[in-house]
Chains A and B, each alone.
Chain A
Amino acid sequence: MSPTDTPPGATPDPTGARASSLLTAAGVSKSFGDVEVLRSVDVSVARGEVLAVIGASGSGKTTLLRCLNGLEVPDSGRVSIGHTSVDFATRPPARELRALRDRSAMVFQHYHLFPHRTVLENIVEGPVVVQRRPRAEVNAEALALLDRVGLADRAGAYPHELSGGQQQRVGILRALALRPDVLLFDEPTSALDPELVGDVLGLMRDLAAEGWTMVVVTHELQFAREVAHRVAFVDGGRVLEEGPPDQVLRHPQHDRTRQFVRRLLHPL
């Protein structure tokens, strides 16, 4: 499966990103109590573009991602995906948040699969129950997806019977089955045993190559370098620096970025 309206393998021109941006966040701010987690952040992602968001724990990168689909409601700012735009100047009604959420799908750090449903049921739940698509058609699609990641024989298993890497791949398939415009990844490999990371990153690389629009919050710098078209470094609730991976990861402009990258590459 590939995203709608995007030729497979399409690579956007990074310099033209803003002109044709599919996802835009403008002036997004969010505080938890007295703590300002996001300070008027602007982000835009073009169709078919992969944006890697890096930054230390507590920098606000996960909150930023969650603001993009309304799981976290920003205090101010605007988020648009395609023609759906939500202004957070006042708290938007649940209906508007759902409209925004329908445009994207998220992959969680801790998978959050539905434990009471089988692998197949997890994948088809959204398309069948929410999008009201015919079950037979969605089932066939889901089985094809499972086959693609080598999990066709696990369709009837419950999530707890799978390894972490398998669960996260199901989490990704659950997101794909929703046919979203944008895929949001929240540290998708951080909870995995190191030997299971590769399968998940490999699948994500394939999706990027197919032309899916992706925002990936990650600590995997190698993934960011090889797969992302653009990298944003978040620090203190702001996007401190962004640009092509080579620039941000190899020749950062800011000391904070340089320190962060060095610490990740050389933890000792």
Chain B
Amino acid sequence: MTGIDWDLVLGSLGPLLSGAIRGTIPLALVSFAAGMVLAVAVALMRLYGNRAVAAVAGLYVSVIRGTPLLVQLFVVFYGLPSLGLTIDPWPSAIIAFSLNVGGYAAEVVRAAILSVPKGQWEAAYMIGMSRPTSLRRVILPQASRVAVPPLSNTFISLVKDTSLASLILVTELFREAQQIAAFSQEFMVLYVEAALVYWVICLALAGGQGSLEKRLDRYVAH
């Protein structure tokens, strides 16, 4: 049992943080944003689309939730080229993660919309709003309050899941750790260090979730 190689720990911190800042975080942010747009669209399709539209949306959610993320990632990056569609690692990762988040978040958004009392729709209609305006001005703002805690979980999961992108050659936090570990043969040190960086990012996100919930709760009686 030798001591911890602190020079290695400190020396590798730079590349790991760089992987987080240039890989993990933007990958998670972009995928989450795109996934949320998709999720709202899919939720609205399921709630208000005709039978065919709702069925398509339901099938999408079922496929995404019923298959492993790693498989989805491999289908996009390693599978599509055999159909003549080759996509670079970064866009592949963003496509796969967005589709994945969209499937899970769609159900959260749908449930949150349904949780808004029917009277709010009626009041919105009463003042003359159309359905899209009612959704935008009255229903979604209230649904967002309900959706923030579960969506925060989705986002935190996504941040950790981006480590899978290392398997399709995206340079991010975990791939940096793997490369340094392979070179230095200090697997334990590097992987624990990578875990700690993920943990710190998620702690910060959980803090952000708390203050966001507080802000959204300002109009609710306690």
Contacts and interface: CB of A to CB of B under 8 A. Distances in A.
Contact of A108 (B119, B128, B133): B119
Contacts of A117: 219
A215 to B, nearest CB: 14
A29 interface: no
Given A98-B130, A126-B128, A131-B128, A108 B137 contact: no
B126 to A, nearest CB: 5
A98 B128 CA distance: 6
A157 B131 CA distance: 27
19 contacts: A69-B126, A70-B125, A98-B130, A105-B127, A108-B119, A110-B119, A112-B122, A112-B126, A114-B120, A115-B219, A116-B141, A129-B133, A130-B127, A130-B129, A131-B128, A158-B218, A160-B220, A160-B221, A174-B127
A63 to B, nearest CB: 13
Contacts, number: 64
Max count, chain A CB within 10 A of own CB: residue among B120, B123, B126, B220: B126
Contacts of A39: none
Interface string B119-153: 11011011111110100011001100100000000
A17 to B, nearest CB: 25
A108 B130 contact: no
A130 B133 contact: yes
Given A105-B127, A106-B126, A129-B133, 8 more contacts: A70-B125, A98-B130, A101-B125, A112-B117, A126-B129, A130-B127, A130-B129, A178-B128
A19 B77 CA distance: 75
Give the contact-size bracket for chain A. 20 to 34
B119 A125 contact: no
Contacts of B131: 94
Contact of A112 (B119, B129, B130, B219): B119
A112 B120 contact: yes
Contacts of B128: 98, 101-102, 126, 130-131, 178
Interface of B: 117, 119-120, 122-123, 125-131, 133, 137-138, 141-142, 145, 218-221
A102 B126 CA distance: 8
Given A114-B123, A116-B219, A160-B221, A125 B130 contact: no
B219 A158 contact: yes
Given A94-B131, A101-B128, A113 B123 contact: yes
Contacts of B117: 112
B138 to A, nearest CB: 6
Nearest to A113: B123
A140 interface: no
Contact of B126 (A94, A101, A110, A129): A101
A122 to B, nearest CB: 9
**Which of A94, A105, A116, A174 lies at the interface centre, i.e. has the most chain B CB atoms within 10 A of its CB?**
A116
Interface string A142-161: 00000000000000001111
Nearest to B138: A114
